[in-house]
Structure 1
Amino acid sequence: MPWFVALALLVVPILEIYVIIQIGQVIGGWPTVGLLLVESALGAWIIKREGRRAWNALQSALQTGKMPGRELSDAALVLVGGTLLLTPGFVTDIFGFFFVLPFTRPIARRGLSAFLSRRLTTQLGSVNLTGFPPASGFDPGTRPTPPSDDVIQGEVIDPDQKK
């Protein structure tokens, strides 16, 4: 488990409790509980609506033969946002609404795309995808030269064939 996930699992609940206590001191205990319940109900309704939209867009893209990149990222953002919205607390709800609402999701999608491309570049940067063994001065961004039409004279020897 990466260190930032472990840190988030420790910090987020403490932050949520702190924010809930602070809001409870300002507006009172019962109004805070009511606000959390209303927020959860609104989040569940939005998740249902946006999840259905994302699913329909994904099915439509697959039926038309279009590569569903945007639709898959929207579905992933709705899934993560829905999980955050169903988690009790105000901080996770802010991020959940940011991922789920249709007018903020494009911003989250660009962030997700930038994160994934950076991550893939880091992971695949040292991988040789050309099929040729690495050589001194090898640049993975260059394309291999096509074979020439030169004919090399020789004899093929099959080691399995007995004389």
Structure 2
Amino acid sequence: MKLLLAVTLILSLPILELYLLMHSSAYFGVNQTLLFIVVSALCGIFVLRFQGASNIKKMRLTLSQGGLPTGALFESVFILVGGIALLLPGFISDAVGVMLLIPLVRRYMLLMFFRRLI
């Protein structure tokens, strides 16, 4: 049942994204919608590069102190997914990307992930 729900969400997401893009271009105009898509992709590249480099430094520091950088490694995965989501055109993927790039939200998601794992 969970697999069917996941497949349905994954397949319906592009249709919903196209629907929202069409309606936003009808409401705001095509130029403003395209500008939003380009600006969000550029922001995704910038934030991905900045936060990714910062997280790599954090992992190196943890490794040099003899620890395992598991938290920073999982944060890197969330940063990568968030950056990729910002690169994809659409409002839903941009919202997910922004949420994954906010450090407080990312740490909360990591906490929920580790609680579910244990």
TM over 0.5: yes
Q: Which structure carries more helix by proportion?
A: 2
Higher RCO, Cα 8 Å, sep 6+: 2
Say if 1:83 and 1:96, in contact at 8 Å, map to a contact too.
Answer: yes
**Partner of 1:110 in structure 2?**
108
One-letter amino acid of the counterpart of residue 86, structure 1: L
Q: Displacement, 1:26?
A: 1.5
Query: How many residues are paired up?
Result: 117
- TM-fit CA distance, 1:41: 0.9
Query: 1:18 offset after TM fit, Å?
Result: 1.5
Cα distance in structure 2, aligned partners of 1:60 and 1:4: 41
1:46 maps to what in 2? 47
Aligned position for 1:37 = 38
* Corresponding residue for residue 5 of structure 1: 6
Structure 2 CA distance, aligned partners of 1:105 and 1:85?
16
Equivalent-residue separation in structure 2 for 1:45 and 1:79 (angstroms): 12
Q: Matched residue of 2:97: which SS?
A: helix
| Equivalent pair of 2:75/2:106 in contact (CA under 8 Å) | no
RMSD: 1.8
Is the Cα contact below 8 Å between 1:77 and 1:109 reproduced in 2?
Answer: no
TM norm structure 1: 0.65
User: Secondary structure of the residue that 1:67 maps to in structure 2?
Assistant: coil
- Give the letter aligned to residue 61 of structure 2: S
Unaligned runs of 5+ in 2: none
In structure 2, distance between residues paired with 1:25 and 1:96: 24
For 1:39 and 1:53, how far apart are their aligned partners in 2?
A: 21
Q: Report the CA distance between 1:117 and its aligned residue.
A: 2.5
Provide structure 1 residue ranges, at least 5 long, that are not aligned to the other structure: 122-163
State how 1:83-122 maps to structure 2 within 5 Å: 83-100=84-101, 104-118=102-116, 120-121=117-118
- Secondary structure at 2:64's aligned position in 1? helix
